Amino acid sequence: MAKPVSTALQIGLVAVALATAVALVAYFSFPAYFEMAQMLFPQASETDALWSWLDWGYLLLTLLIALPLGAIGGAWLSRRIVVPLLEVARAIRAVAAGDLTARANPSIQGFGESARLVADFNAMAERLERAEAELRFSNSAAAHELRTPLTILKGRLQGVADGVFALDDDLIDLLIAQVDGMTRIVEDLRTLGLFNAGSLELSVTNVDLALIARDVTDLSAEALQARSMTLSLDLRSSPVLADAARFRQVLLALIDNAMRYAPGTRLTIATGLEHVTAVLTITDSGPGLTDAALRQGFEPFWRDEESRARDKGGSGLGLSVVRAIVHAHDGQVRLHNAPGGGASVTITLPARIPD
């Protein structure tokens, strides 16, 4: 794609073109004007006064030709500069009034900067509209996620107040579980909000992903056994600068995700170094990820096969939080299907190279 010529350069080129056109008109029309003057005034002597009169007449004729050319060129030039600006101003007023679908007309032709202004504004407006839609969806989804535990809490507490339910240990455990679920949702939303605002605080220290993975798997061993999952570890030293607590959160979320959607399978966790990159991979031997999950798995509140996923629990925020924490560490995370089958999550971070 050719680089657009700047507005200043194009204005200069137009001015040079107009000046050249006027000069050519003046140069080539002078002989014809002189011959015509001789034919019309053959008796006129070549006096200073006569030639002064002829000169003024020639100047007037030149102006009659040059002024329309200049006016046409100026109008064309101003249209190419001003009209895109007016169109962007119209769209800005529409967006300010609440119409996030407003766009500047991209078919309006302008010079370099004004044409780029139209394109840049439309790109910004599209991102703003998408962000607004995502915000509305997130608010609606968060309310929906919180409604279920709140309904259970209200119903059970109302039942206790009415004497329908006895406040025994089982009911207390159920109520605590609902509160814990809401706490996780709120904390996940807080983490995402802080990341999106660029305010996610990290306590970065020298850590080894292999040691973090071993600690988390030791804590999760009983839960994995309850889900009939076998654990395979390939932990090689992977020194990084990271927030250890946040990466424990990442690993717990990924293990929890595997237990929910691939119970009874083998879970493999591996760490290692590839050149100057630390790599953490978690792979299960389950059915793998659908194309939709590969594309949208990190989106907040997104679930594959929504109705069945809800039966398996989870808020749909786990992978979004994982991505936020990894990106906050200048890392990358991706979903993919393992060559031998199963879902796999690979996290890469800049490795800490010893001095």
Residue 156 to residue 134: CA distance in whole angstroms:
34
Q: 246 near 209, Cβ under 8 Å? A: no
pTM (two decimals): 0.62
**Environment class of residue 165 by beta-carbon count within 10 Å: exposed (0-12), middle (13-18) or buried (19+)?**
middle
Write down the domain spans for the chain. Answer: 7-126, 138-196, 205-350
pLDDT at 161 over 50: yes
More confident residue, 309 or 150: 150
- Integer-rounded Cα Rg, in Å, for the chain is 36
Pick the CATH number of 138-196 from 1.20.140, 1.10.3470, 1.10.287, 3.30.230: 1.10.287
Q: What is the CATH number of domain 205-350?
A: 3.30.565.10
324 CB-near residues (< 8 Å, 6+ apart): 191, 192, 195, 196, 200
pLDDT, tens only, 287-304: 888 888 888 888 877 776
More confident residue, 233 or 198: 233
Mean pLDDT of 1-19: 59
Residue 173 to residue 187: CA distance in whole angstroms:
21
Q: 97 φ, ψ to 5°?
A: -80, 0
Q: Strand 266-274 to strand 277-284: parallel, antiparallel, or no bridges (unpaired)?
A: antiparallel
Q: 153 near 179, Cβ under 8 Å? A: yes
Please tell me if the domain spanning 138-196 has the same topology as the one spanning 205-350. no
pLDDT, tens only, 36-92: 666 766 655 455 554 555 565 656 666 676 667 666 766 676 677 778 888 888 888
Output the pLDDT for position 199: 76
Residue 236 to residue 209: CA distance in whole angstroms:
9
Place of tokens 């006016």: 71
